[in-house]
Amino acid sequence: MVAPEFATRPQLSEAVARFVRNRIFDGTYAAGEYVRLDQLAAELGISVTPVREALFQLRAEGLMDQQPHRGFVVLPVTRRDITDVSNVQAHIGGELAARAAANITDEQVRELESIQSQLEAAYASGDHERAVRLNHDFHRAINVAADSPKLAQLMSQITRYAPESVFPVVEGWPKRSMKDHRRVVAALAKRDAEQARAAMSEHLSAGAGPLINHLKQRGVVT
């Protein structure tokens, strides 16, 4: 995995945490492997401080542990980890979608439709990085329309535990995801809160099984 440009990024520790998190979920960093601060800092071309902050963040997320005199070690990812995150996302995301249905404007619906069209084009062209970004934009637009900042913040925090960057390469998921998204948009356009809740909850819970299978094949999930 090629390291992106870190030197000019704001909030370096967040960027480093995302980078290491992706390496854990793509199998580059295996369970039991130690991540050395100095080596990673040199690889990314940054100081040790934001790397240390990032690894402490990942320890708080349960992805790493800190061993006395040995440093930071990658912890195993389990089926239960993935399922728990998916279930919480489904509950909170469903509530946000229901609230969005009550508040969303015609302009916001058009914005969602535009993002969805761009997302489908990104998937069709195999542009995984752009697909991940647009998928994030799609869900964020719904959370903004929900006008529930605290609930949206909780959703943002739990999403850190979900390997978003992996989903574009999970077999069958892009097609399923696009179908789910269209159901969500249709429900929002009709201002049908319960249909929006159900569509979003089903979408967010449906990814756990395919993701677990994908990560098992790569030796990530124990």
CATH tag, 12-74 = 1.10.10.10
Residues 6+ apart with CB under 8 A from 102: 191, 193
Q: Is the pLDDT of residue 163 over 90?
A: no
User: Which residues make up the CATH 1.20.120.530 domain(s) of the chain?
Assistant: 79-217
Sheet holding 71-74, edge to edge: 34-35, 71-74, 64-67
Options 1.10.600.10, 1.20.120.530, 3.40.50.300, 3.20.20.80; CATH of 79-217 = 1.20.120.530
Q: pLDDT tens across 41-71, in order?
A: 999 999 999 999 999 999 998 899 999 989 9
| Average pLDDT score over the chain | 92
Taking the C-alpha atoms of residue 152 and residue 36, their distance in angstroms, rounded to an integer, is: 34
Which residue has tokens 């994908």? 214
User: Which residues make up the CATH 1.10.10.10 domain(s) of the chain?
Assistant: 12-74
pLDDT at site 206: 96
Residues 6+ apart with CB under 8 A from 130: 122
- What is the percentage of the chain residues whose pLDDT exceeds 70? 95
Identify the H or E element spanning 66: strand 64-67
pTM of the entire predicted model: 0.83
Average pLDDT of 88-106? 97
Which of 21-25, 164-168, 202-206 has the highest mean predicted lDDT (pLDDT)? 202-206
pLDDT at site 159: 86
pLDDT at site 8: 46
Angle CA 104–93–146, to nearest 5: 25
